[in-house]
Homo-oligomer: A and B are copies of this chain.
């Protein structure tokens, strides 16, 4: 009887927790999704005759699937290969179903899904709540939602990005929840990325983040990223300026999406690339790269494959971080709490002159539990123990970051002390120099 009662109680608790998120009960994306998304780098390039290596075609996605599976990306968590706009034929088929452009996807989406699944990866596809996609391809009107959701499920697609061009606010208010239900109704777990809030200006009262968390796994709050530092900075500023609204909206299964990583493209310096990686990790942002994995530089790859930065982004507690401080010097400090009483700090410089020597202490950054172990994420080295009351100087390069993984204080329980080692993996060794740069 006691056992039976225990089971009943457990069942009750699960129900109590899951009821509010019933409409998207797909259990997906308990940590932010990672992978590759075509848009920023390849846009609507459909000129396969003159630009065969870069046009939106099955060959491009197969190439990227090969790279994700063969170059160490998959093992780090980069498992989604996501198609964006301009994949479809201009006409639906005789049964009113979407179909891929036959010249650029001659084998069809189901075959591509198989190719991707065979490599231990997942396939994302793109649709649009409206009469047309942003690129002018067939959209999904309210009447098409059930059909299109079933088509994606039949094709064994694993994720849908649902854009919002060519629809009005009323249609979106019906369409985004309807697609969520329709995806669930297929019985196939399909992660659901909603562009809805970006079309509503990103903020309450127009945006209802409680509802979004119930119907979408992630959502685009703001405009598209471009391959430039000013774009990265504009986006990061918007998200941190509105963190009091956005930060509580995120959690396991429901993420704010500041858009793709442009690391490895043309517009960011190495410092700026580390900054995007660090700030996206603090934000618990989806990590969708949009770049050419066939030709990416070793510098960019090293940043994108940084195990501790990824570990911070993927922390299982799933609490989005915050900006702690904006200094007149142009230094900003960001913080994210992590599992096992660990945390991450990012020191960022907006300056465009020279490295800035920033003087602070952990106590000034609200650390009050004694002595911490510090690991410099991009320098890839231990910095030794640091007392909360000790003043230190950290040198931050222009448009760059210093990112720290901070282990639980020495007086915390035993389990937590191992978290740093878990994130870093076995290849990294502690240095005893104790110098703080």
Contacts and interface: CB of A to CB of B under 8 A. Distances in A.
Interface stretch (A140-148, A171-179, A397-405): A397-405
A414 interface: no
Contacts of A229: 228-229, 267
B271 A354 contact: no
A265 B349 CA distance: 14
Interface in A205-235: 226-231
Contact of A267 (B54, B226, B297, B398): B398
Contact of A266 (B51, B266, B398): B398
User: What is the predominant secondary structure among interface residues of chain A facing chain B?
Assistant: loop
Interface stretch (A40-48, A77-85, A155-163, A334-342): A40-48
A103 interface: no
B271 A353 contact: no
Given A50-B357, A393-B50, A227 B352 contact: yes
A398 to B, nearest CB: 4
The size class of the interface chain A forms with chain B is: 20 to 34
B399 A267 contact: yes
B266 A228 contact: no
A114 interface: no
B45 A354 contact: yes
A180 interface: no
Interface in A385-414: 393, 397-400
A353 B50 CA distance: 18
Contacts of A271: 266-267
Contacts of A45: 354
A43 B354 contact: yes
Contacts of A270: 297
Copies in the complex: 2
Given A50-B393, A393-B50, A399-B228, A41 B354 contact: yes
Contacts of A393: 50
A54 B357 CA distance: 12
Contacts of A269: 266-269, 272
Contacts of A266: 269, 271, 355, 397-400
A398 B265 contact: yes
Nearest to A290: B354
A310 to B, nearest CB: 23
Contacts of A357: 47, 50-51
Contacts of A231: 352
21 contacts: A41-B354, A50-B357, A226-B352, A226-B353, A227-B353, A227-B354, A227-B398, A227-B399, A228-B352, A228-B398, A228-B399, A229-B229, A266-B271, A266-B400, A267-B269, A267-B352, A267-B399, A268-B269, A269-B269, A269-B272, A270-B297
State the 3 A-B residue pairs at the shortest beta-carbon distance, nearest first: A226-B352, A228-B352, A266-B398
